[in-house]
Chain A
Amino acid sequence: MRTPSRLSEPTMTTLKNPLSLEDLVSNTPDLPVMPAAVMAVIRETESSTCSAQSVAKYLSQDPALAVRVLRLANSAFYSLRRQIMEVPEAVVVLGMRTVRNLAMIAGSYPWMSRELKGYELGPRELWAHSFGVAIGAEVVARRARLNESEAFSAGLLHNLGKVAMSVWLESRAEALFDAISKDEAPFDAVERQVLGFDHMQAGAHMAESWNLPKPLVRAIRFHHCPDVVENPEPLVDCVHIADFMAMSAGMNPGWDGLRYEISLNAFERMKISPDDITSLMDEFLLTYSRHDKLFEEHPKAA
């Protein structure tokens, strides 16, 4: 992997003259990209004129992506009686919202499953965490009668910024280790100390440049600090709570682990009482484990 020349700057220079978010976007090697067809599907499902035909039309514009979506649609998770061969059929059988989620999974897996050395995450570890938060956000949204598909999308993309920031954190390993070992601040504060911004800011900046819907951008931007939002937003709270569940369940094996603040206010806003925490965790893990089948071929459909 090519390393930008700025990565070799001495630590002190880094601290005095942090990167800008613009630098991050323009200088990060292999910056993640969401396929245009997925972005079109996301925008389409947010619009009032959305139809099964229009979703299928956008998705079919990327044949490689469409193949991956059909593979997921024919997985053991859905256990369909017969194999789906065409995208329009998938939209009719599974629904627009489900196909949108499958498109997001297919479009983000290639870059979200990378090893991220700056966070000490091995291959697929960020993916497993992000998928867990997507499922968790869906579970919370279902209880709160919110849009489950939107919650899934926000959960899946909440750590988008980490994919871009990893290489820069890796290059500032000394400052990073120093800040980590002091054990005085949550990890997002460590990121701000070392790089000048955190993965929430980086992810939101990227999501904005992708023209993702505003609520999704704000969920990425505030997922560790839901009380900072001027008017608290249910989607931010959903992702915050789902992230707590995934971290508690050990789905974040990197440097940061559980080193984040959690807000009880977010739980109160979502009407999750303290006594509900363990049953919510139980429901989350049951749902998560059932989704293993999404990545298994369905024998009948093969």
Chain B
Amino acid sequence: MSDIVTIGIAEIQVRQGDVRFRCVGIGSCVGVCLFDPIAKVTGFAHVMLPASFADHEPESPGKFADTAIPALIAAMEERGADPTRIVAAMGGGAQMFRILGGGESLDLGPRNLQAVEEQLNKYGIACVAADTGGNLGRTITFASDTGAVFVKANSREDRVLCELRAA
């Protein structure tokens, strides 16, 4: 079995060949897994916030949805991926139990999810499955040898979310 590569917050990672990616500690953030099943190129991002700031360059493109997805796709293309074959799965976007006094700005989870979806749509990438929302922390694991995406919510056991395969 291939080594497990852990994805930290605001990080992006790309590998060609057999790999297991694990993204831990996903709260309101979104773990995005992109996979080209033919070239066997996997990209993973742990997106923290919806949009980068106009006044300064992000020190890490993986931090924001609007910089993470383009950077991830570009890095995957460098490893031989074809964007038209890439399929996606994602998880996260949790929110607080209740926000007293309203305030959609505090709904970071839904805002992050929407921003990631918009980016995937821009590139015409289909999201095969998603485990999102609620107020649970999540861990997402991807095994490129089978294409299986696993989700663990809080301490519950890993469960298969989907299998990423060629369309």
Q: Tell me the A residues contacting B by CB distance below 8 Å.
A: 120, 186-187, 227, 244, 247-255, 257-265, 267-268, 274-275, 277-279, 281-282, 285-286, 289
Contact of A258 among B9, B10, B53, B137 (CB under 8 A): B137
Contacts of A258 in B (CB 8 A): 27-28, 94-97, 135-137
Q: In the complex, which residues 16-42 of chain B have their Cβ closer than 8 Å to any Cβ of chain A?
A: 24-29
CA A252 to CA B97, docked complex, whole Å: 14
Whether A248 contacts B103 in the complex (CB less than 8 A), given A258-B95, A278-B50, A286-B59, comes out as no
Q: Quick one: which of B28, B49, B97 contacts A261, CB cutoff 8 A?
A: B97
**What is B's interface to A at a CB cutoff of 8 Å?**
9-10, 24-29, 48-51, 53, 59, 63, 92, 94-106, 108-109, 135-139, 154-155
Bound CA–CA A90/B63 (angstroms): 36
Nearest Cβ on chain B to A209's Cβ, whole angstroms:
30
CA gap between A265 and B103 in the complex, in Å: 10
Q: Is the CB of B96 within 8 A of A247?
A: yes
Compute how far the CA of A118 lies from the CA of B68 in the bound complex, rounded to whole angstroms: 36
A247: contacting residue among B27, B49, B104, CB under 8 A: B27
Q: Which residue of A lies closest to B101 (CB)?
A: A264
Chain A nearest CB, measured from B50 CB (Å): 7
- Kindly list chain A residues whose C-beta atoms are within 8 Å of the C-beta of B135: 257-259
Q: How far is the CB of B167 from chain A (nearest CB, A)?
A: 31
Q: Choose among A250, A253, A277 the residue with the greatest number of B CB atoms under 10 Å from its CB.
A: A250
Report yes or no: B103 in contact with A250, Cβ–Cβ below 8 A: no
Residues of A within 8 A of B99 (CB): 261-264
CB distance from B114 to the nearest CB of A (A): 14
Partner of A262, one of B29, B48, B96: B96
- Chain B residues with Cβ below 8 Å from A262 are 96, 98-100, 106
Min CB–CB distance A236 → chain B (angstroms): 14
Chain A residues near B105 (CB-CB < 8 A): 274-275, 277
| Bound Cα distance A186, B100 (Å) | 12
Interchain CB contact (< 8 A) of B9 among A250, A259, A274: A250
Residues of A close to B109: CB separation below 8 A: 248
Give Cα A64–Cα B99 distance, bound, in whole angstroms. 44
Nearest A residue to B155 via CB reads A120
Using known A-B contacts A120-B154, A267-B103, A277-B106, determine if residue A257 contacts B25 with beta carbons closer than 8 Å: no
Chain A residues, CB < 8 A from B155: 120, 253-255
Q: Which of A252, A263, A281 contacts B100 (CB 8 A)?
A: A263
- Can you name 18 A-B residue pairings with CB atoms under 8 Å? A120-B155, A227-B100, A247-B96, A248-B29, A249-B25, A250-B26, A254-B155, A257-B136, A258-B94, A258-B136, A262-B100, A263-B99, A263-B101, A264-B101, A265-B100, A278-B50, A281-B48, A281-B108
Residues of B within 8 A of A247 (CB): 27, 96
Contacts of B96 in A (CB 8 A): 244, 247-248, 258, 260-262
Chain A contacts for B29, CB-based, 8 A: 248-250
Contacts of B97 in A (CB 8 A): 186-187, 258-261
Do residues A278 and B49 form an inter-chain contact, with CB atoms below 8 A?
A: yes
Q: Which chain A residues lie closer than 8 Å to B106 at the CB level?
A: 244, 262, 264, 267, 274, 277
Docked Cα-Cα span, A286 to B24, in Å, equals 18
Contacts of A254 in B (CB 8 A): 137, 154-155
**Closest Cβ–Cβ distance, residue A281 to chain B (whole Å):** 6
Contact (Cβ within 8 A) A252 B27: yes
Nearest CB in chain A to that of B31: its residue:
A250
